[in-house]
A and B are shown apart, each in its own frame.
Chain A
Amino acid sequence: MINRIVVGAGYGLKDWIVQRATALIMAVYTLILLVALGAMGPGGYEAWRAIFANGFMQFMTFLFFVSLFWHVWIGVRDIWMDYAKPDGLRLVLMIATAAALVGYAGWAAKILWRL
């Protein structure tokens, strides 16, 4: 038996659940998008834009992006924890990751806003 010293309360479990919940949302969105792509006519820009321009798809795409950035935050942080051992380096990488993802979230909102 290893005497584990547990610090904090259940962060790990919450992240585990969030990673799976966001994965599920993205999986459903991917299926919807595959169907939409299958149904897309050969209209070039207009047909492509029409997929994302309707209200339902705007909502779903926004939900996808929010899920994506949250999912990636947990996933990439786990990867840094596995490979970046010096505490300082790990902290810098995590902050850079979080900063990038927050920025991407704003960018994604801007793209959808203009549709």
Chain B
Amino acid sequence: MAEIAIKKKRPKNLDIPTIRMPLPSVLSILHRISGAVLFLLLPCLLWLFQQSLASPEAYAAAKAVTSNVLVKIVLLGLLWLYMHHFCAGIRYLLLDLHKGVDLQPARFSSKVVFAVSIALTLIVGAKVLL
């Protein structure tokens, strides 16, 4: 029913290379991607959490799994997705409170989000993955 009202053809631009992606829009799409990927990998993360707490033996077994370089890279990637979602999420909460909505502050805060989330990823990654 609701669609009936929207009959007018609206312009569409699907000429991908000409679409500009300023940093705030990269941040935005990464926020969605990070949420979706973290959701899909929740079983793996819950399993790791369970093993790491179950017993010293299970902890050691989990450590052995994460000592694999490929696993390490994937986990570091997930950590970054989480940190990005976390920092970008806080930025959205502030935007919802009408803080930093103007173009310049919004551009600046998206740079801050990338810088802080990458820094946190490296610091936490060094602590739990090395």
By a beta-carbon cutoff of 8 Å, the part of chain A in contact with chain B is: 2-5, 20, 23-24, 26-27, 30, 34, 37-38, 40, 44-45, 48-49, 52, 72, 75-76, 79, 97, 100, 104, 107-108, 111, 114-115
Contacts and interface: CB of A to CB of B under 8 A. Distances in A.
- Determine the interface band of chain B, counting residues with CB < 8 A from chain A: 20 to 34
A20 B93 contact: yes
Nearest to A82: B32
Interface of B: 1-2, 5-6, 32, 35-36, 39, 42-43, 46, 49-50, 52-54, 56, 59-60, 86, 89-90, 92-93, 96, 120, 124, 127-128
Contacts of B90: 27
A45 B102 CA distance: 47
Given A2-B5, A3-B5, A48 B53 contact: yes
B93 A79 contact: no
A contacts with B: majority SS? helix
A97 B35 CA distance: 13
A45 B124 contact: no
A37 B53 contact: no
B86 A4 contact: no
Given A48-B52, A79-B32, A104 B5 contact: no
Contact of A34 (B46, B92, B124): B124
A75 B35 contact: yes
A37 B86 contact: no
A111 B58 CA distance: 13
Contact of B54 (A4, A20, A107, A114): A114
A115 B124 contact: no
A30 B56 CA distance: 25
Contact of A104 (B36, B43, B53, B128): B43
A75 B42 CA distance: 14
A108 B43 CA distance: 10
